[in-house]
Structure 1
Amino acid sequence: MRAGVELLETSGPESLGLREIARRAGVSHGAPRRWFPTRQQLLAAIAREGLGDLTAVLTEALDAAGPVPERLLAAAHAYVGFARERPGMFRLIFRHDLLSGSGYALRELSVPLLGQLVGVITAGYPTMDDARERGVLLWTHVHGIATVAADLTLEPMGLDAGIGGLVERAVRGQLPA
């Protein structure tokens, strides 16, 4: 697993093969198949590790004390920060085309994050009747920013330095004035 995560972080999901991971781990090329019979299962296990890391970062921000907008901003910045610091892992976590049918319930791990986000919004704005929809909009906006940040597509547009402002606008845009 450690060799797979390291290879992912340095070379991206496309580089993850059972043989290369085994070589880097210093084991026979057949050894990973004992635990991961298919490449898809190995990728899903690696993605699960990364999703656990992302969940911990987001939970810390959402569970912190303080005003709801600041907690949501902290979580959004943490999400984008994760994508920028670990772009290979971020991309793999959301490659459902590669990971579906792997036997690892990755969506079951990510869905509670949305519930946590909606819970924070609901607690901070108890009269809001569309907290779930706003949570989904907030998540998708921030996920979009994180995706383009991970792919470095904001740099050519000169927006790389302004990612924090984009995140703030995405979050505040879903909160009542």
Structure 2
Amino acid sequence: MQTENDGGTLRDRLIETGVALVDAKGAAALSLREIARGAGVSHGAPRRYFPTHLELLSAIARRGFTDLGARAKEAVHASEESPRARLAALSRVYLDFAADHRGMYELMFRHDVLESGTLGLRETSLPLFGMLVELVGSARPDVEPTVVAGALWANLHGVAQLWGWGSLQLAVGAADIEPLLASVLDAHLGPVA
């Protein structure tokens, strides 16, 4: 077992272990014991850096928000197309992240984690929402962009959850999420001219 005296590196290792664990086994696998075992330290070691289990979960979720935000920014900046095309790229990133990182996505939006006050929600999710608001404002200057962006985000989140559970595939008989994404964008931005 590695030493528990390596300060910030142990803190980072605990978070990285949690990120790997949530991706491999889902949010339910994130016990302090499992994270400590994965990091190669005693089960009490995480308490030195994270006084509560919720604080450790928040630190892990923060990594998810940071990763999702970076992917979204890259997709939006890589696209030199219309605001609608950039919104479509951001939306695909959101849906792909939810599909590829189910455990992390679930953890990021857990009510107790979001309300804990330790996640730093303003620093992690609001820049992503701000990007969404800006693109909606560019695509639809005739609407209140914050309200439409909120509705769009809620719609994307619902699609991500229902798709992840298999409910949408069953209900609409779809094997591809793209027609649903096109419908979501049409509903909030109007049909493509």
TM-score (norm: length of structure 2): 0.83
What is the letter of the counterpart of residue 144 of structure 1? G
Shift in Å, 1:86: 0.4
Structure 2: where are the runs of 5+ without partners? Answer: 1-14
Structure 1: where are the runs of 5+ without partners? Answer: none
Q: In the alignment, is the contact (CA less than 8 A) between 1:36 and 1:42 conserved in 2?
A: yes
What is the distance in 1 between the residues matched to 2:151 and 2:59? 28
- Corresponding residue number in structure 1 for 2:163: 149
What is the distance in 1 between the residues matched to 2:181 and 2:122? 24
Select the structure of larger CA radius of gyration: 2
Q: Deviations over 1:69-118 (max 9, x none)?
A: 11111111110000000000001100022442252212442122222111
- Corresponding residue number in structure 2 for 1:110: 125
Shift in Å, 1:123: 2.5
- Corresponding residue number in structure 2 for 1:139: 153
Shift in Å, 1:156: 3.6
Q: In the alignment, is the contact (CA less than 8 A) between 1:47 and 1:93 conserved in 2?
A: yes
- Corresponding residue number in structure 2 for 1:90: 105
Q: In the alignment, is the contact (CA less than 8 A) between 2:139 and 2:189 conserved in 1?
A: no
TM-score (norm: length of structure 1): 0.90
The 3-state SS of whatever aligns with 1:173 is helix
The 3-state SS of whatever aligns with 1:161 is coil
Bigger RCO of structures 1 and 2 (CA < 8 A, at least 6 apart): 1
Task: Select the residue among 19, 27, 41 that pairs with 1:27.
Answer: 41
Q: Percent identity?
A: 40
CA distance 1:57–1:98, change in 2 (3 Å):
same
Q: Deviations over 1:134-164 (max 9, x none)?
A: 2111111111111112233334446451311
- Corresponding residue number in structure 2 for 1:14: 28
Shift in Å, 1:38: 0.9
Between 1:104-113 and 1:87-96, the stretch displaced more is: 104-113
Between 1:106-115 and 1:140-149, the stretch displaced more is: 106-115
| Number of equivalenced pairs | 176
**Root mean square deviation, CA, Å:** 1.8
- Corresponding residue number in structure 1 for 2:187: 173
CA distance 1:163–1:116, change in 2 (3 Å):
same
Structure 2 residue 144 is the aligned partner of structure 1 residue 124: no
Shift in Å, 1:130: 2.2
Shift in Å, 1:48: 0.2
Structure 2 residue 71 is the aligned partner of structure 1 residue 81: no
